[in-house]
């Protein structure tokens, strides 16, 4: 699979940068966010390097579905499914994206405000 040498998430996926992995399968990995914004803050990261959600096309339907099923299972494992959690995708700069390898945040363990900032 194509890797971007200067992409931190590609380097984590390859094992060339340390990260606390909590889940992995053939299509994605989940790690602890290094700068957590909630008691549970995981990043669900497709192995395939896609810079933003705007790179998704119909060939990624299964991948996108796998992300939400992983989020559901991880929330159950963490014991936060019933109290509630949030899955966030930031797309491009004004959307809050800082790492340009598409990823989903799983946040839980505190009440989530609405609307998000």
> Which chain residues interact with ligand 5GP by CB under 6 A?
8, 19, 31-35, 43, 90, 96-99
First to last CA, the chain: 35
- Decide: is 104 part of the binding site for Zn ion (CB under 5 A): no
Among residues 47, 60, 101, 103, the one that binds Zn ion under rule CB under 5 A: 101
Distance CA 52, CA 91 (A): 6
Distance CA 102, CA 42 (A): 14
Does the annotation mark 105 as catalytic? no
Among residues 7, 63, 64, 88, the one that binds Zn ion under rule CB under 5 A: 7
Distance CA 28, CA 3 (A): 14
Residues catalogued as catalytic: 103
Q: Rule CB under 5 A: which residues touch Zn ion?
A: 4, 7, 9-10, 49, 101
């Amino acid at each position: 699979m194509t890797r971007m040498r200067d992409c931190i998430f590609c380097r984590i996926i390859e094992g060339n940068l340390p990260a606390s992995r909590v889940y992995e399968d053939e299509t994605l990995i989940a790690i602890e966010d290094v700068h957590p914004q909630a008691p549970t803050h995981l990043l669900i990261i497709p192995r395939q390097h896609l810079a933003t959600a705007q790179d998704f096309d119909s060939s990624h339907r299964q991948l996108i579905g796998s992300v939400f099923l992983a989020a559901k299972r991880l929330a159950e494992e963490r014991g936060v499914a019933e109290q509630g959690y949030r899955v966030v995708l930031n797309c491009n700069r004004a959307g809050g994206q800082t790492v340009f390898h598409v990823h989903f945040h799983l946040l839980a363990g505190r009440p989530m405000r609405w609307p998000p900032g």
